[in-house]
Amino acid sequence: MASEKSQTARASGTLGEISLFGVPVRFHFTFLFLMAFLLAAGLGSREANMASDALFVLALFLCVLLHELGHAVTARRYGIKTIEIVMYPIGGVARLEKEAAPKAELVIAFAGPLVNIILGVAVVVGASYAGLDQKANELLTRIAAANFYLAGFNLVPAFPMDGGRILRSAIAMVKGEQVATQIASRIGRGLAVMMAIYGIIAGQIFLLLIALLVFLAATQEGAVSEGRALTAGMPVRAAMVTAFHTLPHGSTLREAAQLLIATTQQDFPVVHGDQVVGLLDRTAFVRGMAGEGPEAYVSAVMDRDYVRLDPDRDLAESLPAMAEAGPCALVMDGEHLLGLLTRENIAEFLMIRKLGLNPGASASTTATGV
């Protein structure tokens, strides 16, 4: 699989990192269970079958890693970096820094399964010339079959699996990316439901798990794509909160609490005269109340490292920054505070856009301070 996320943060729950072809490869902590299984099942065992099973799992893991590297190295040829490859016991994910253009995405998505096809053919050809004993031949046949299975499975057109990405990029070349993502997301969810039903009937829990992941990912990609379409070309200022309260830097948390109750606002810019010196969001407020008490000054607990957004920046481009900012970002024209951008009002903005209105058209930029 390959996935595109605009966040640069590394996946959570990973341990250990190696670098292959300049791509960071991390292992999810659940990998320890797989390693424990390998150690217990194979390496210490005298029974040939168990040792062969362990070798098989190890080889399979290596083939999955090479599959992900296939995506990463191909993406680099199109100038797209891979933030990381995360290896889970059930497979790998290559996280690319940004989305590729349709043609590039098609090639990048196909590169992974292609690696497995090449590996499978290479193992079959190699085994037929090597003249190994029966046990070794059996193992190699299993590894070759697993590679063909990996290629075939990943080519199932269930977005966001590789096959789904190939399908989406092909549709995108004809109908545009927005429509393509919606179609691919729908097909992905449909296939996921069928996969889940088959998994239940056949008693394959593994397939059920994959189906669930595909369904969730397809739904999320569909929503992200819709959000992008509804916000593209709109400036940040069109979606920001323009009527808001601020807190002077000399206020106490008790005063902040009164404002929190008296208004519907949850995040307050902290100002010193005209100048913004920080942001007191609800988390900082709660943390401050618990740690310092109500008489502490807001300036002692506020966040000085808040996220600033340019009012004229494209809203679609700002959404990834918002995802990192947490609940609230400040919209600033130089040092001048124009408004707040919060998750709630982005959700409202999307709802209004969906209803066909253009809220940006008459947005005023007057700020009301307290």
77-91 as b/e: b if 16+ CB within 10 A: eeebebbbbbbbeeb
- Which residue number, 108 or 279, has a Cβ lying nearer to Zn ion? 108
Which residues in 112-141 contact Zn ion (CB under 5 A)?
Answer: 112
- Rule CB under 5 A: choose which of 1, 72, 140, 171 binds Zn ion: 1
Which phi-psi region, left, alpha or beta, contains residue 3 (left: φ > 0; alpha: ψ -120 to 50)? beta
Tell me how many residues contact Zn ion (CB under 5 A).
Answer: 5
C-beta of residue 292 within 8 angstroms of C-beta of residue 300: yes
Distance of closest approach, residue 282 Cβ to Zn ion, in angstroms: 40
- CA torsion, points 72, 78, 83, 84, in degrees to nearest 10? 0
Which residues in 260-299 contact Zn ion (CB under 5 A)?
Answer: none
- Which residue number, 4 or 162, has a Cβ lying nearer to Zn ion? 162
Contact window for Zn ion (CB under 5 A) among 12-20, 110-118, 128-136, 342-350: 110-118
Distance of closest approach, residue 98 Cβ to Zn ion, in angstroms: 17
Q: Which residue is nearest to Zn ion (CB)?
A: 112
**Token pair for residue 49?**
């079958």
65 SS3 class: helix
Distance of closest approach, residue 166 Cβ to Zn ion, in angstroms: 10
Distance of closest approach, residue 56 Cβ to Zn ion, in angstroms: 20
Q: 144-183 mask for Zn ion (x: CB under 5 A)?
A: ----------x-------x---------------------
Beta bridge partners of 93: 86
Distance of closest approach, residue 108 Cβ to Zn ion, in angstroms: 9
- Which residue number, 42 or 92, has a Cβ lying nearer to Zn ion? 92
Distance of closest approach, residue 313 Cβ to Zn ion, in angstroms: 33
- Which residue number, 151 or 279, has a Cβ lying nearer to Zn ion? 151
Tokens 């605009």 -> residue = 6
**Token pair for residue 317?**
């481009």
219-248 as b/e: b if 16+ CB within 10 A: eebbebbbbbbbbeebbbbbbbbeebebbb
14 SS3 class: strand
Beta bridge partners of 25: 18, 85
Contact window for Zn ion (CB under 5 A) among 2-10, 164-172, 276-284, 311-319: 2-10
- Which residue number, 1 or 280, has a Cβ lying nearer to Zn ion? 1
* Binding of Zn ion by 91 (CB under 5 A): no
CA distance linking residue 229 with residue 313, whole number of Å: 15
- Which residue number, 1 or 301, has a Cβ lying nearer to Zn ion? 1
Contacts 24+ apart (CB under 8 A), 37-42: none
- Which residue number, 107 or 319, has a Cβ lying nearer to Zn ion? 107
Binding footprint of Zn ion on the chain (CB under 5 A): 1-2, 112, 154, 162
